[in-house]
Chain A
Amino acid sequence: MITREIMDTSFHTLSPDHSIFEAVELLKKSSEDEEKKIFGMMVTDKENQLVGMLSMFDILLFIQPKHIRILGEMEDISFETVLTGMMNRLKKIRVEDLMSTDLLIITPETNLMVVSDIMINKHIRRIPVVENNKVVGIVYRSDLFFHLMGKITE
């Protein structure tokens, strides 16, 4: 049971200089293309080297007002007003500004039990697969789960 068996090789990637609005569109497009919900994508440079990961969580964290606890107590705020504030905040921001750069990677030969252990202990939903410094795939938690469960119930 190794990573190569379950890694998704038809992945989409983002570029560090994409705007966040472009990234959101690409997240939507890759969800449609891959026919599953994509919550985060790898960020690669021009040489296809992995430089980061960007998730919906990163974007949500950024658009959330700093004083959210105070806003939560104000019942008279309209959602539209908050939304305008959020959008203004995103205009200048690129993928490279919000992406995580502290990454865990695996190779196509990594044992799936090791991958499972990493995902459980680090609370990770997806792990990039890298070979010879190039991104060759990605492993999603759901794919790993159903693969392992399939093996058990075989």
Chain B
Amino acid sequence: MPTYKGRSVISGMVVQEAMRCVVNRINVYSSIESCIQKMIRQKSNAVLAETDDGKPVGVVSKTDIINAYYAALPVHTPVSDILSKSPYFCNPSDKLDMALDLMIKKKNHRIYIREKNDDVIGTLSYSDIVGLLYRYCRKCEKSRRKPEDLDNQNLPRLIVNDVMTSGLIFCDVNDRIIDVIETLFERRLGAVLVKNGVDAVGVISKTDLIISYAHNQSKEVNASNIITMPVLSCSSDILLSEAVQKMFIHDVQRLFVSDHTDNIIGVISLSDAAKARSGTCKACAASVLLEGVSS
């Protein structure tokens, strides 16, 4: 597996070095059901909708799908009926800083990469950039902590408690799915903690909701029907790098944080972690840009 040793900062990179050469696309007249299947199969948060002749006309996000679920649209409804966003594009040779700037300006977490002949050849997502930042920070020679110091236990290192967000929004297992959707939308969350009485028993994410929609689950049933258990959590006193590693392993954007008595006391997201790490290194212009995009 290649590691990045020759470069110390992300600035100066071009989009081609960070993009994924996979485009999750769908015909705009395909059903929402097929769109959900593509999202699940590709573990993607968005799908590019194209006309019959391959012209991109919009982006279907998980939020669009959940809106359709909320509005009780049948799953065979064409995606053309629920498109809400236009795709944004850049070229493979564009500077990565410029692509990040576009993400910030447009408040968009995904940019499609287009060649000069207008063929869409890849995607660049916010989580890809976060992942890159993580890789560079681990190896970066300009970091306050030199790579050779990583094993030095005496150096102060960031722990989860330094970065996590305290105060939690949660739902109850007896809430209906529709109530959970409303909570996610009102609070602009990607996932919500579910409690049974005082105990945190699971999590419901946007992915759980789109799977529920695809499986024709009524949105009037209890949240307990679609809950993901157990709650993926970490202790507030572990190293930030351990928490990031756990998020990568489990393919999640956030971990709930527990105290020494196993009570959930907060949440930490991948972007919180990336910002905190990058904040130690002012040499990395891209990391500063990241502060402008909320997760």
Contacts and interface: CB of A to CB of B under 8 A. Distances in A.
Contact of A61 (B41, B134, B228, B245): B41
A70 B135 contact: yes
Interface stretch (A2-10, A30-38, A94-102, A141-149): A94-102
Interface in B110-156: 127, 131, 134-135, 138
A54 to B, nearest CB: 11
A67 B228 contact: no
A101 B135 contact: no
A93 B40 contact: yes
A70 B130 CA distance: 11
B3 interface: yes
Contacts of B41: 58, 61-62, 97-98
B37 interface: yes
B3 A73 contact: yes
A67 B251 contact: yes
B37 A65 contact: no
What is the size category of the interface that chain B forms with chain A?
20 to 34
A29 interface: no
Contacts of B131: 67, 69-70
Contacts of A85: 249-251
A148 B37 CA distance: 37
Contacts of A58: 41
Contacts of A96: 37, 214
A97 B43 contact: no
B37 A101 contact: yes
Contacts of A89: 250-251
B219 to A, nearest CB: 16
Interface in B224-239: 226, 228
B249 A65 contact: yes
Given A70-B134, A72-B1, A97-B214, A88 B250 contact: yes
Contact of A73 (B1, B37, B40, B127): B1
A94 B3 contact: no
Given A66-B43, A97-B214, A98-B40, A74 B245 contact: yes
A58 B134 CA distance: 28
B211 A65 contact: no
Given A65-B251, A81-B249, A85-B251, A97 B40 contact: yes
Contacts of A69: 1, 131
Given A62-B43, A65-B249, 7 more contacts: A85-B249, A89-B250, A93-B211, A94-B215, A97-B211, A97-B214, A98-B37
Interface of A: 58, 61-62, 65-67, 69-74, 77, 81-82, 85, 88-89, 91-94, 96-98, 101
Interchain residue pairs A-B with the least CB separation, the first 6: A72-B1, A85-B250, A67-B248, A85-B249, A97-B40, A66-B251
7 contacts: A66-B251, A70-B131, A88-B228, A92-B208, A92-B228, A97-B41, A97-B214
